[in-house]
Chain A
Amino acid sequence: MNPLSERKYIIIGVFLLVGLAFIARLFYIQVINDSYKLDARNQAFRYTTEFPNRGYIYDRHHKLLVYNEAAYDLMVTPKEVKNFDTVDFCKLVDITKDEFIKKMKKAVQAPNSPRKPSVFEKQLSPQDYASLQELLYRFPGFFVQSRTLRKYPMKIAANMLGYIGEADKDMTERDPYYNEGDYLGISGVEKTYEKALRGKKGLRILMVDVNNSPKGSYMNGLYDTAATPGKALESTIDADLQLYGEMLMQNKIGSIVAIEPQTGEILALVTSPSYDPNLLVGRARNKNFSKLYLDTVRVPLFNRATMASYPPGSTFKLVESLIGQQEGVLNRETKYPCSAGYAPLGGHPKCEVHPSPLALYDAIGYSCNSYFSYVFKSIIENKKYHDTYVAFEAWRNIALSFNIGRKTNSDLANELRGNIPSIKYYDKVFGKGVWKASTVISLGIGQAEMGITPLQNANVATIIANKGWYYTPHIVKAIDNNANDTTLGRFKIKHFTAITDTAIYNNVIEGMSHVTESGTAHLLKIDGVEYCAKTGTAENPHGRDHSVFVAFAPKNNPKIAIAVLVENAGWGASWAGPIATLMMEKYLNGKIARKELEKTMMDANLIDNIKAYEPKKKKKK
């Protein structure tokens, strides 16, 4: 044998070694390392999104509040743009050459890419689209993607419905469902019910070759998904009442909240000044948004019904009366004197001139400040507690059970907590053990640091109308015609306050009846409807007193509870009262008998009053 034949082992060894090295390397790049798979997908797949139709929103009588209109985004894939007549194109799309160059530059630069389609011109109207589409074949690289835009036929309830915006980078990181530029609800119902409204995006995977020309769908569409349209919402709003409320509130600052007591359904939620929701849609959105956003005098994007916390003023005397009775220091016979003010503190808080002394019904009717200062003092100095602070805590806890000073947990996107001051707070302000009932006496008439939102105030009226219970106020009653949708579950739970004795409520309701018969609101009558109300004139640090009014009607078997607040308008009975009674009249009677009053209210411009403000020290009504 050839002595060199041993060398074959070396040669075979080398061959095997290389083979093994290759298989090991293949194992690494094919099985272990995933980055190549990702690169392959990015290169060869084009993911196209099919945007679902966003859910419509209806009012409680199935009147359309929000629907969609088709809009078309003109998309461009810069790499595919060839043989291009820029002049022709600019004429077609109605832009200048400079704009064209700017937009093309944007489409090429990160995060866009020459290979990937990006938006060239946003939200073309169907008319523009029609004329564009005929000629688009001449401009390779451009195509049109359909989107949907919100449309508001009645132009009402802008703040409550909320608006749509584009997902930003932050959003896409928080929720991977969204891609940058996707539409989503930013505020109001659009935000709260985003998941139901948005539906589910569809995805089509197209394969493209190295020149980015489409080569059909991947695996014959095995991984494609169709878009699922968003669910329709049935709102609790009565569109006609809402519209009427917005008309009454025009040129005034403030809000109206009306609730159906038996269900907690919000019938109307007006905040003023507001805006036409159609402004925040389409190509003019950004321009309009900054205009609204920068309007710091009228602040139209601010939902006062849920976001503004006001001192409740005299309307709080209702809760005060309830607590007094519950704590056993007040009954309907209890009488206190009034000398145009609360005598023990030298006539402060002040009061109007009226018969004295008064019992509970008339005290509510006349809204006597002195009376409720005595009531508050008797609650705080209640002998049964032996300790002022324990009594104060008891008072505060009962008040909290009326869902004031804490969020109602409604489905309105942004809500303020409001405030009922705590012992801790006063200890900090006055010092521990230093303060007593007389120090904080104005809490008894809904002033001092107390703050509640109009929504909470309307809920207080609801509780009294129901004599002790309420459902969490809400704006949506059914999702996709399903009233039992789990997201609505929390609105089916009956909440009770700390006061359950209906006799206690009956006394307060009687007092509220006195308000409309002989008291502060005796001039405001509704044809054929006996109703209960309480006026308020809330002192505030911002200017003239706020005009406040809470009511429910009819007195027996109430159908509507309402809270109205007009900022810096003065007496409760002069602005908030008429507006509230007109609203109830409209809702219950379907027509308005008091045309004169209606016209006065609608025509009045109180916004200018704010500037003509002069400091005034008055607490009452």
Chain B
Amino acid sequence: MERRKSNSIFSDVDWVTVLLYLVLITMGWLNIYSAVYNEDHHAITDMTQKYGKQMLWIGTSLLIASIILIIDEKFYTAFAYLIYGLILVACIAVPYLGREVKGSRSWFRFGDFGIQPAEFMKFAANLAIAKFLSNAHIKIADYRNTIITLLIIGVPLIVIKVLQDETGLAIVFVTFIFTLYREGLSVNYLLLGFVAIVLFILALLVNNIYLFIIIASLCVVASLFIRRTRKNLFAIALVGLICCGMVKGTSTVYDHMEAHQKIRIDVLLGRGTVDKKKEGYNVNQAKIAIGSGGWTGKGYLNGTQTKYDFVPEQDTDFIFCTVGEEWGFFGSSVVIILELLLILKVVFMAERQRSAFSRIYGYGVASVLFFHLTINVGMTIGLAPVIGIPLPFFSYGGSSLWSFTILLFIFIKLDSHRLEILR
């Protein structure tokens, strides 16, 4: 170990991952430049323009990344709970201390720039989960531990949703289910979640009576094919009842959603009459922008739909529209493939860890990135409801870029010590 220590602190850094990161933020910046490009402001460092500011965010992100690599890796394990606690406090405080901007209560403002503590909750929660589950005595399958884990995830979710009213930032925490699954959470939870989503969608689209009939007949069919012990029959009945309950519960959940959320779901599912000029506007414009890209796109800086503001939020949540319009099918596929490559790279890196902490943290990184990719791209092409979350490394925004950078580079740091003792 002494030999290794004598080398530079960067010696075991996984440079492929760093390279993927750099490629993605560069592409992201180029697309932000194009999305907000106008003839009056050419200078790429123009601080009145978003690409100028993003330049600054990228610079600081690289600085942060370096600092993370320099700090001793034990810092993250030692202070995982503390970091989690501090940021959670910040999240709770921000609605009261922060300045309200455009109706959002999730920002601390410093002049022209703002910080969203909720963005940093992601890596903090990830650290805390890793810390808790890596404890040698903890088995997640243990009922009590499951509750604690869910609390680590659930508290920030509820704080951000209820206190800050930031659905997008809150819902991300759901993604840690992938980590938990990998660490031994019963597959039934995953199936339950999957079935819940499917039934929710079906219940909104199909007459509920038919669903009840279908569920009942499936239960009957199932009971014909298994050994009809009392236990099995009971299980089938329970599953059937739960399913029916979900269907029945859908309308209650839907009715209690906020108006704009209902609309987004309606738009996604094509329920009722969606006016493409009103509630359906964003998604329709996003699809037009991407769809008009064709095979190879209209060329860099030649997009019309994004550049001329037909697509709202074209530099942040809808940045993928610029990619789709100007780089076409090839370009957008490349972006999706690069993002996926990074995510899969992180998964493979997680799997090579000797330390449970590093592995669990790594899965958290992959899950968070994957969730953002899925929802963000999904909503622009009409496969996911509109939820305002950024595309990792692409969307304009300091907090999100910093947050993703910290999230990723802590893992890169942990990975660079993968050959050392188990933590």
Q: Are B329 and A26 in contact (CB under 8 A)?
A: yes
How many Å lie between the Cα of A4 and that of B139 in the bound state? Answer: 12
Contacts of B325 in A (CB 8 A): 40
Q: Are A19 and B329 in contact (CB under 8 A)?
A: no
Per DSSP, chain A at the interface is: helix
Chain A residue at minimum C-beta to C-beta distance from B339: A19
Asked if B365 CB lies within 8 Å of chain A CBs, one says: no
**Cβ of A35 to closest chain B Cβ, rounded Å:** 7
Q: Are A30 and B304 in contact (CB under 8 A)?
A: no
Contact partner of A30 (CB less than 8 A), chosen from B178, B184, B324, B344, is B324
**Cβ of A83 to closest chain B Cβ, rounded Å:** 22
**Cβ of B389 to closest chain A Cβ, rounded Å:** 15
**Cβ of A416 to closest chain B Cβ, rounded Å:** 54
Q: Are A210 and B310 in contact (CB under 8 A)?
A: yes
How many Å lie between the Cα of A320 and that of B120 in the bound state? Answer: 109
How many Å lie between the Cα of A31 and that of B184 in the bound state? Answer: 42
Q: Are B377 and A22 in contact (CB under 8 A)?
A: yes
A8 with B292, Cβ < 8 A, contacts A25-B381, A215-B308 known: no
How many Å lie between the Cα of A35 and that of B292 in the bound state? Answer: 8
Q: Are B383 and A25 in contact (CB under 8 A)?
A: yes
Most chain A CB neighbours (cut-off 10 Å) among B307, B309, B381: B381
A16-33 residues at the B interface, CB under 8 angstroms: 16, 18-19, 21-23, 25-27, 29-31, 33
Q: Are A36 and B291 in contact (CB under 8 A)?
A: yes
Chain A residue at minimum C-beta to C-beta distance from B292: A40
A8 with B328, Cβ < 8 A, contacts A29-B287, A44-B304 known: no
Q: Are B377 and A44 in contact (CB under 8 A)?
A: no
Chain B: interface residue total (CB-CB under 8 A):
44
How many Å lie between the Cα of A304 and that of B328 in the bound state? Answer: 63
Asked if B145 CB lies within 8 Å of chain A CBs, one says: no
Per DSSP, chain B at the interface is: helix
**Cβ of A90 to closest chain B Cβ, rounded Å:** 31
Q: Mask for A43-62, Cβ within 8 A of B = 1, else 0?
A: 11100000000000000000
Contacts of B373 in A (CB 8 A): 18
Chain A: interface residue total (CB-CB under 8 A):
39
Asked if B19 CB lies within 8 Å of chain A CBs, one says: no
Asked if B343 CB lies within 8 Å of chain A CBs, one says: yes
How many Å lie between the Cα of A218 and that of B305 in the bound state? Answer: 13
Q: Are A23 and B308 in contact (CB under 8 A)?
A: no
Q: Are B290 and A29 in contact (CB under 8 A)?
A: yes
Contact partner of A43 (CB less than 8 A), chosen from B305, B307, B328, B343, is B305
Contacts of A44 in B (CB 8 A): 304-305, 308, 310
Contacts of B364 in A (CB 8 A): none
How many Å lie between the Cα of A36 and that of B288 in the bound state? Answer: 5
Q: Are B308 and A31 in contact (CB under 8 A)?
A: no
Q: Are B308 and A19 in contact (CB under 8 A)?
A: no
Q: Are B292 and A21 in contact (CB under 8 A)?
A: no
**Cβ of B311 to closest chain A Cβ, rounded Å:** 9
Asked if B82 CB lies within 8 Å of chain A CBs, one says: no
Q: Are A26 and B332 in contact (CB under 8 A)?
A: yes
Q: Are A36 and B290 in contact (CB under 8 A)?
A: yes
Asked if B398 CB lies within 8 Å of chain A CBs, one says: no
Q: Mask for B353-383, Cβ within 8 A of A = 1, else 0?
A: 0000000000100100010011001100111
Q: Are A30 and B182 in contact (CB under 8 A)?
A: no
Task: Name A residues whose Cβ lies closer than 8 Å to a Cβ of B.
Answer: 4-5, 7-8, 10-12, 14-16, 18-19, 21-23, 25-27, 29-31, 33, 35-37, 39-41, 43-45, 207-211, 215, 218-219
Leading 4 A-B pairs by shortest Cβ distance: A36-B291, A40-B292, A209-B308, A44-B304
